[in-house]
Chain A
Amino acid sequence: MTLEAQVLGDSAVRAADGGYEVDLHLAWYRSLPLSCLEGIDLTINEEVASRESLKVTVGDRQLGLDDLPELDDEWWFVQDALTVHVPSSTPVAPGGHVDVDVTLATRVPYIIIGPDTALVQRTHVVKKVVVQ
């Protein structure tokens, strides 16, 4: 339960140009490189963000999820948030509430559960938060 509790903080969603910025935390006890981030499914107020529309902030770059498999030396430190830009056609202004539904899929690169298969940890969090 506790790893799920970390994923989305109370002030994780900010209004941003064309949508929101969402701060996500790893649902694991240790840091992982971005190559292990297999997917982010995000729905805000029933508006489903497509995989292609999400942009992750890596240093001063904005990368798509399909850019991440190469980044095996770009680390997501376990205490840090990863900022994801989520476009929205009907963004809620700061102070308003939004329902966030997020599933984070991370490959755990040392837990091997079958031939050529590493554990993919899927963590699902549903939370109502105030837009910052």
Chain B
Amino acid sequence: MLGTTLYSMTNEWLAGQYTLGSLIDEVGRRGIGPGVEVIGFQSLRGFPNKVADEELRTLRDAIERNGLVPTSLASNADIALRKDRWMDADRSVEYMRPQIELAGRLGFPVVRTQLGLTPEVLEKVEPLAAKAGVKLGMEVHAPEGPNTPKVMATREAYARIDSEFLGFVPDFSSCMRAIPVGMLDKLRRDGLSEAGVESLERAWQAPGAPFQRYGQFAAECGELGEPELPVGFARLVFTMFGRENLEDWREVLPQVVHIHGKFYDVDDDLTSPSIDYEGVMRVFAELDHQVSMSSEWEGHAYLDADEQDAFDMVARHHAMCSRFLGADQLATV
């Protein structure tokens, strides 16, 4: 089932162009459902335990009147909420509890979780998920991939706990083939020279840990005399855009509970220069169970609302995915 995450419309939301109800109405009007994913801490005032009943009603009513389907409520594992005292396992569990329970009350079948949840916390929140009737989907996002060490620790914990309520949410940022042109243009606008851009692309494509590759780029920029601002901002290039092998997603396919169809660009011929969607869709077409996929446009990291309409981008993404998936597979993914 295709759909959208309201995160795609971050620019429009932050600018106050929409209320929660009118934003979901626009998703319905543009036909970019039926799935709808919501980030609790973005869309709901008072999330997770002080959301007004009226706000919850607004969300439910908007989804219903537009014939949409709630797919995933994205939670956050804010372990460094206090600088002086990070959450221990028990505090993390209590922090996750209302997020999971609210997802259940609102009819979201999946709660997107994050790697901040340790194996010990996972063990303790699993019964909460089972009680609420929601699946916890650990997001696998750049710079991680399906078999990087942090994700392997989660896979091992999952094998030990062995629950149908624990799964994964692959995010295609893990397996990109190029830095989005829009990001490079933003860095050029901020003063990065062509030699700096070439250095960035070289470091991004080099083997090694992301922070080491960034260090190599930053050192070269020092020699080139590049300005500080774009060199600092370019750190994001190494954390947002991963270079894992897309074929590796097969290792977690049976545990996939939802997908983040992350994308930055879709050309007129319905291909994405930065992510090999044909390859990714080929792998995910092998899924043997029904899974929802949110189109997640993140070009708002470097483009303003007046530069790109997020709804149009999501519509193009749907067209691209439909091109690579047959009708029967569209029903699966």
Q: Which of A1, A6, A36 contacts B15 (CB 8 A)?
A: A6
Q: A6-B15, A110-B79 are in contact. Are A1 and B303 (CB under 8 A)?
A: yes
If A78-B42, A110-B114, A116-B86 touch, does A2 touch B302 (CB 8 Å cutoff)? yes
Residues A1-58 near B (CB distance < 8 A): 1-3, 5-6, 25, 29-33, 35-36, 38
- How big is chain B's contact interface, by range? 20 to 34
Please name all residues of chain B whose beta carbon is closer than 8 Å to the beta carbon of A6 when the two chains form the complex: 14-15
Q: Which one, B5-13, B103-111, B200-208, is touching chain A? A: B5-13
Residue of A30, A35, A78 most packed against chain B (CB within 10 A): A30
Residues of B contacting A67 in the complex (Cβ-Cβ under 8 angstroms): none
The DSSP consensus for interface residues of chain B is loop
* Residue among B7, B45, B81, B114 making CB contact with A36, cutoff 8 Å: B81
State A32–B80 Cα separation when bound (angstroms). 11
Residue B285 at the chain A interface, CB threshold 8 Å: no
Question: Is B248 an interface residue, CB under 8 A from the partner?
Answer: no
Judge whether B76 is part of the interface by a CB distance below 8 angstroms: yes
- How many A residues face the partner with a CB closer than 8 A? 26
Contact B304 A107 (CB under 8 A): no
Q: How far is the CB of A108 from chain B (nearest CB, A)?
A: 8
Q: Given the interface contacts A79-B14, A79-B16, does A30 sit within 8 Å of B80 by beta carbon?
A: no
B55-89 interface bits toward A, Cβ cutoff 8 Å, 1 = contact, 0 = none: 00000000000000000000011111111101000
Closest B residue by C-beta to A70? B82
CB nearest to A124 among chain B residues? B229
Which residues of the partner chain B approach A30 to less than 8 Å between Cβ atoms?
Answer: 39, 41-42, 76
- Chain A contacts of B252 at CB under 8 A? none
A30-B41, A78-B14, A79-B16 known; A2+B304 contact, CB < 8 A: yes
A-B contact pairs, 22 of them (CB 8 A): A1-B186, A1-B189, A1-B302, A1-B303, A2-B301, A2-B305, A3-B301, A29-B39, A29-B42, A31-B41, A31-B42, A31-B47, A33-B81, A35-B83, A38-B83, A69-B83, A72-B81, A78-B14, A109-B81, A110-B80, A112-B80, A118-B83
Q: Which A residues are within 8 Å of any B CB, using their own CB? A: 1-3, 5-6, 25, 29-33, 35-36, 38, 69, 72, 75, 77-79, 107, 109-110, 112, 116, 118
